[in-house]
Amino acid sequence: MKTKLFIVSTLMLSSVAIFFSCDKVEAPYMIVSDVSDCPVPVFPDITSPEKTLLIEEFTGHKCVYCPTGAHYIHQIKQQTYGSRVVALAIHSGGLSEPEPGNYDLDLRAGTFGEELYAYFGSPAQPRAGFNREKIDGTNVFYGTPATWQTKAEQVLAQSPLMTVQIINNYDSASRKLCTHVKSKFLSANAQNLKIALFISEDSITGYQLNNNNTVGTTPEIENYVFMDVMRDAFAGSFGEVLTNGGVAQDSAVIRTYKKTLDAAWNDKHCKVVAYVYDAATDVILQVAEEQVY
């Protein structure tokens, strides 16, 4: 009888221990900074809204085809689209892992880039998405950089459903950045929309593998200039809810975010990229980019 009591008591106590193995989280649930010291500015009106395009590119400094991809993205940005085209280079996967020696540069944005890379099926690199539209009816991300210009034009030919504006207030002494994003709807919207924001950095130099001698030396480029490198996220890899349908025409939502820039980044080369996307389909409706200062 004593043995049985011992067994039952032990198992019951174990159960109680397991039962109390729980962490109840109290509100606020997100690690958000107090943005009361980030006064919201007045946004100028956009008189002629135009469709904007985000080219998301999965890349890596050990990817021999990636300089060709970056070359074509650069060409697209050099066209007459102006600020209508925004690029975000997401260094991710095994080809972006730093290693001792020439390739010790870590251009990955913490876990954010990896989460996006995994979410979109860890495709071969380089692969670029164009507002995450299934342009061929099947794929979201595409190889063959020579075809990217055509895909960009297809998306840019669409009419905008909304506008996205960014205003940054940056204090270079403290490196405190206040970012304000205004999303305005040009027509009533019933979609569940999310907003995602990232910091990107231009003009980072380092080694890059390459197999295309028309874009640089092969088999590697010593002082390769990395552009539009995703560095950090304001609201996680997938952003946060912006609206849940029922949005009236001409209504607007302004969100304010705050972040202290990493000392390792060149703040003069940093930009904020913000985009609004459909939570059900992942398709990006509109994107904007603004220099930190």
Partner 1 sequence: MRYKIIFVLTFIVVGIFSFNQARSQGFEKFLRNSQISGNFQFDGMYYNKDSMIGAPDVPQKVLMNAFANINYTNGPFSAGFRFENYLYALQGYDARYKGIGIPYRFVSFEKDKFTITVGNSYDQFGSGLVYRTWQDPSLGFDNSLDGINVKVNPWKGITLKGIWGKQRYYFDLGPGVVRGADAEFSINDIFTKLNDKALRVSIGGSFVSKYQEADDPVYKLPKNVAAYGGRASVSYKNFLFNGEYAHKINDPSTINNRIYKPGNASLLQMTYAKKGMGFYLAAIRTDNMSYKSDRNAEGIDLNINYIPSLAKQTTYSLPAIYTYGTQPNGEFGMQAQGIYTFKKKTKMGGKYGTNLSLTYSRYNAIDKKQIDENTPIDSTGTLGYKSDFFKIGKNAYYENFNFEFSKKFSKTFKLIVDYFYIQYNATVIEGHAMPNIHSHTVVVDMTFNINDKHSIRSELQHMYTKQGDGSWAFGMVEYTIAPKWFFSVSDMYNYGNSIAQKRLHYYNVATAFAVGSTRIALSYGRQRAGILCVGGVCRYVPAANGLMLSISSSF
Contact (Cβ atoms closer than 8 angstroms) between residue 215 and residue 72:
no
List 50, 106, 153, 240, residue binding partner 1 (CB under 8 A): 240
11-19, 75-83, 160-168, 172-180 -> range binding partner 1 (CB under 8 A): 11-19
Rounded to a whole number of angstroms, the minimum distance from the CB of residue 243 to partner 1 is 6
In the bound state with partner 1, the residue whose beta carbon lies nearer, of 8 and 252, is 8
Kind and range of the H or E run holding 119: helix 112-119
Residue 106 makes contact with partner 1 by CB under 8 A: no
Residue 42 makes contact with partner 1 by CB under 8 A: no
Burial classification of residue 44, based on how many CB atoms lie within 10 Å of its CB (0-12 exposed, 13-18 middle, 19 or more buried): exposed
Residue 2 makes contact with partner 1 by CB under 8 A: no
Rounded to a whole number of angstroms, the minimum distance from the CB of residue 116 to partner 1 is 12
Residue 29 makes contact with partner 1 by CB under 8 A: yes
Residue 248 makes contact with partner 1 by CB under 8 A: no
List 2, 24, 159, 264, residue binding partner 1 (CB under 8 A): 24
Round to whole Å and give the CA distance between 177 and 206. Answer: 27
Residue 125 makes contact with partner 1 by CB under 8 A: no
Residue 23 makes contact with partner 1 by CB under 8 A: yes
Residue 159 makes contact with partner 1 by CB under 8 A: no
26-34, 152-160, 164-172, 203-211 -> range binding partner 1 (CB under 8 A): 26-34
Rounded to a whole number of angstroms, the minimum distance from the CB of residue 203 to partner 1 is 25
| Main-chain phi, psi angles of 235, to 5 degrees | -140, 45
Each residue of 146-174: b (16+ CB within 10 Å) or e?
eebeebbeebbeeebbbbbbbbbbbeeee
Count residues contacting partner 1 (CB under 8 A)? Answer: 34
Both tokens assigned to 114: 């990896």
Round to whole Å and give the CA distance between 130 and 122. Answer: 17
Residue 264 makes contact with partner 1 by CB under 8 A: no
List 42, 143, 233, 265, residue binding partner 1 (CB under 8 A): 233
Contacts of 221 (CB under 8 A, 6+ apart): 67, 207, 208, 210
Round to whole Å and give the CA distance between 92 and 97. Answer: 8
**Sign of torsion, CA 97 103 108 111?**
positive
**Strand runs labelled E in 134-269:** 141-142, 162-171, 176-185, 192-201, 204-209, 220-226, 229-233, 240-244, 252-260
66-74, 81-89, 172-180, 240-248 -> range binding partner 1 (CB under 8 A): 240-248
Contacts of 124 (CB under 8 A, 6+ apart): 143
Residue 236 makes contact with partner 1 by CB under 8 A: yes
Binding site for partner 1 (CB under 8 A): 4, 7-8, 11-12, 14-15, 18-25, 27-31, 110, 115, 192, 194, 233, 235-236, 240-241, 243-245, 279-280
